[in-house]
Amino acid sequence: MTTALITGATAGIGAAFARRLAADGHNLVLVARDTERLREQATELHDRHGIEAEVLRADLSEDEGIASVEDRLTDRRHPVDLLVNNAGFGNKGHYLDVPMADELKMLKVHCEAVLRLTSAAATGMRERGRGGVVNVASVAAFVPRGTYGASKAWVVQFTQGAAKDMAGTGVRLMALCPGFVRTEFHQRAGMGTGNIPGWMWLDADKLVATALADLARGKSVSVPDPRYKALMGVVKVTPRGLLGGMTSKTGRKYGPQ
């Protein structure tokens, strides 16, 4: 039986990965900050699918939190075969409205934690000659969209580069770039979603099914769903200035400051 470790497993896309991987018979290590929610989820997945689900409470915006997950990923007695770096969040407000501490926290969770956890996992995977890493980025990586988009662009570039360097080792790395997905993300960030057209919303379970199929195919970047594939084609040929004007507004309606 193989083991998958998922960060940000308690909600949204991470919870969808947990459901799907448990249904496929993988043991799980579930990582997030809310211990009670983690325990409930572990019990439910164990009872429903008969898999082992460990709970690891870690705040990935803190050094100790990242270190505790690194320790689990480098435990040779209990190897992790698939790592899903999914934990993430949005900040409320445009550039200069967001407190610097929150910007730095985002870089810690979206970039430093992803770098350190990918590296901790990939070292053992390379020795064993097999394994996979999915780093959850966003289509925001391809458009000008504040620190969020910049951090996700880093995830895509880092993952593609690492995937190239690891070619032939048996270890697959893939950046997953979803469009808008119905999760707790926007509510947690205090973002209004009223100006996001209905057709732009993706379903987390379908997204995960496509992501795992793309990983199995050996893709290093996955943009699930034909709607977003087409949209990203348009983005490639649209002038950056025009793009910045559109993308800084879409889905970034904030309530009273």
Ligand X SMILES: NC(=O)c1ccc[n+]([C@@H]2O[C@H](COP(=O)([O-])OP(=O)(O)OC[C@H]3O[C@@H](n4cnc5c(N)ncnc54)[C@H](OP(=O)(O)O)[C@@H]3O)[C@@H](O)[C@H]2O)c1
> In angstroms, what is the minimal distance from the CB of 104 to ligand X?
12
Instruction: Pick the piece of the chain touching ligand X (CB under 6 A) from 42-50, 86-94, 232-240, 242-250.
Output: 86-94
Q: Is 153 in the site for ligand X (CB under 6 A)?
A: no
> In angstroms, what is the minimal distance from the CB of 206 to ligand X?
13
Nearer to ligand X, 60 or 120 (CB): 60
Tell me which of 95, 148, 228, 254 is the catalytic residue. 148
**SS3 assignment for the chain:** CCEEEEECCCCHHHHHHHHHHHHCCCEEEEEECCHHHHHHHHHHHHHHHCCCEEEEECCCCCHHHHHHHHHHHCCCCCCCCEEEECCCCCCCCCCCCCCHHHHHHHHHHHHHHHHHHHHHHHHHHHHHCCEEEEEECCHHHHCCCHHHHHHHHHHHHHHHHHHHHCCCCCEEEEEECCCCECCCHHHHCCEECCCCCHHHCECHHHHHHHHHHHHHHCCCEECCCHHHHHHHHHHHHCCHHHHHHHHCCCCCEECCC
> In angstroms, what is the minimal distance from the CB of 34 to ligand X?
3
Active site residue 95: no
Place of tokens 């309606």: 253
Q: Is 188 in the site for ligand X (CB under 6 A)?
A: yes
Which structure tokens are listed for 81? 């075969």
Nearer to ligand X, 121 or 181 (CB): 181
Q: Is 118 in the site for ligand X (CB under 6 A)?
A: no
Q: Is 29 in the site for ligand X (CB under 6 A)?
A: no
Our CA dihedral for 161, 162, 167, 171, rounded to 10 degrees, sits at: -150
Nearer to ligand X, 60 or 173 (CB): 60
Q: Is 34 in the site for ligand X (CB under 6 A)?
A: yes
Q: Is 103 in the site for ligand X (CB under 6 A)?
A: no
Q: Report the site for ligand X in 35-74 (rule: CB under 6 A).
A: 37, 58-61
Nearer to ligand X, 13 or 53 (CB): 13
Nearer to ligand X, 40 or 127 (CB): 40
Q: Is 89 in the site for ligand X (CB under 6 A)?
A: yes
Q: Residue from 131, 185, 211, 247 that binds ligand X (CB under 6 A)?
A: 185
CB atoms under 10 Å from CB of 73, counted, come to 23
Residues interacting with ligand X, by CB under 6 A? 7-14, 32-34, 37, 58-61, 86-89, 109, 136, 138, 178, 180-181, 183-185, 188
